[in-house]
Amino acid sequence: MDRMGPSEFRAGGSMSRTAAPIVVRGLEHWFGEGEAKKQVLFDVDLVLQPGKLTVLLGASGSGKTTLLTLMGCLRRVQQGSVTLLGMELAGAAEDVLVQCRRRLGFIFQAHNLHDSLTAMQNVRMGLEVHGPAATAQWESAAAHLLDLLGLRERLNYLPGNLSGGQKQRVAVARALIGNPDIVFADEPTAALDKESALNVVTLLKRLGTERGTTTLMVTHDSKIMDLADQIITMDEGRIVQDSSLS
């Protein structure tokens, strides 16, 4: 893989990537109302280190996705504190949350590409959110990233004409094109073959060392766990093990 120069990515704007990008304190979360109200997170505490790959483990229903969406500004904090890139999310206004999301990259289990947009255009959507920039710059950055992910021949394909793995790699490119401070990935490798999965994780690790990008990934892939800097295990809404504390 080529080296990625900073100029290929969104220019400027990101804060110092040396402070802890995420600090969670005493986080609790409930779903439902009244009789059906059910607590799914209990007193969650965690700190992520900048530029590191953290893997989140836990049985189904243990609250991994809920925690991820709270840290990713996709859900409102009900109780406790989430400090994201120095910003308190508890009680933050909607437009603050929208601003915060622009500094994050999401890789979902499903690719969630827009069917009417080509691979390039889907990736471009990850950049346009930062405001108008020279199209030529976007296109070369997007093309470069897609090339790194082995999609050089597929730039102008619609998602309908791509394989599942190819679509997921386009989604990865869309998450990374904006040079996010933090990448959240929820079982992103399910749709990828072993080689692509490893390829994506290697890319994320390299972004960590070269640019200080922090990654939090939910996965049960033992190959990826081997590459992790930190592993957090959840059970029934609580953090039961955190490798950074032991």
Partner 1 sequence: MTELLAKLLGRLPIGWLQLVHNKTRLPAAVAGVSFASVLVLMQLGFLGALVGSIRLPYDQMNADILISASDMNTPADGSPLPRQRMFEALSVEGVARATPLYYGKIEWKQSDGTIRNLDVFGIDPSSETIRNPAIEARLADIARADVALIDAKTRNAPDGLFAQIANGQPYRFEVKGRTLTVVGTFEIGGGFTADGYLVISDQTFLRLFPQRAAGAPNHILVSLAPGADVRSTIERLRAVLPAYDSSVRTVAEAFDKDRAFQTTQRPVGLVFGFGIVIGVLVGIIIVYQVLSTDVAEHLKEYATFKAIGYPQRFFLSIVFEEAAILAALGFIPGFVVSLGLYAMIAAATGLPLAMTGARAVFVLIGVLGMCLLSGAIATRKLARANPADLF
Ligand X SMILES: Nc1ncnc2c1ncn2[C@@H]1O[C@H](COP(=O)(O)OP(=O)(O)OP(=O)(O)O)[C@@H](O)[C@H]1O
Binding site residues, partner 1, CB under 8 A: 65, 68-69, 72, 74-75, 95, 98-104, 106, 108-110, 112-117, 121, 124-126, 128-129, 132, 135, 158, 174, 178, 186
Beta carbon nearer to partner 1, 125 or 225: 125
**Cα(183)–Cα(216) distance, rounded to whole angstroms?**
6
Contacts of 214 (CB under 8 A, 6+ apart): 17, 21, 22, 48, 49, 50, 51, 52, 54, 181, 182, 183, 208
Q: Indicate which of Mg ion, partner 1, ligand X, none lies near residue 244 (CB less than 5 to 8 Å, by partner kind).
A: none
Q: How far is the CB of 76 from ligand X (least distance, A)?
A: 13
Beta carbon nearer to partner 1, 19 or 129: 129
Q: Indicate which of partner 1, ligand X, Mg ion, none lies near residue 60 (CB less than 5 to 8 Å, by partner kind).
A: ligand X
Beta carbon nearer to Mg ion, 65 or 166: 65
219 binds Mg ion, rule: CB under 5 A: no
| Beta-ladder partners of 186 | 218
- Taking CA 107 as the corner, what is the angle to CA 3 and CA 142, rounded to the nearest 5 degrees? 40
- N- to C-terminal Cα separation, the chain: 35
121 binds Mg ion, rule: CB under 5 A: no
Q: Indicate which of ligand X, partner 1, Mg ion, none lies near residue 35 (CB less than 5 to 8 Å, by partner kind).
A: none
65 binds Mg ion, rule: CB under 5 A: yes
Beta carbon nearer to Mg ion, 20 or 40: 40
Q: Indicate which of ligand X, partner 1, Mg ion, none lies near residue 95 (CB less than 5 to 8 Å, by partner kind).
A: partner 1
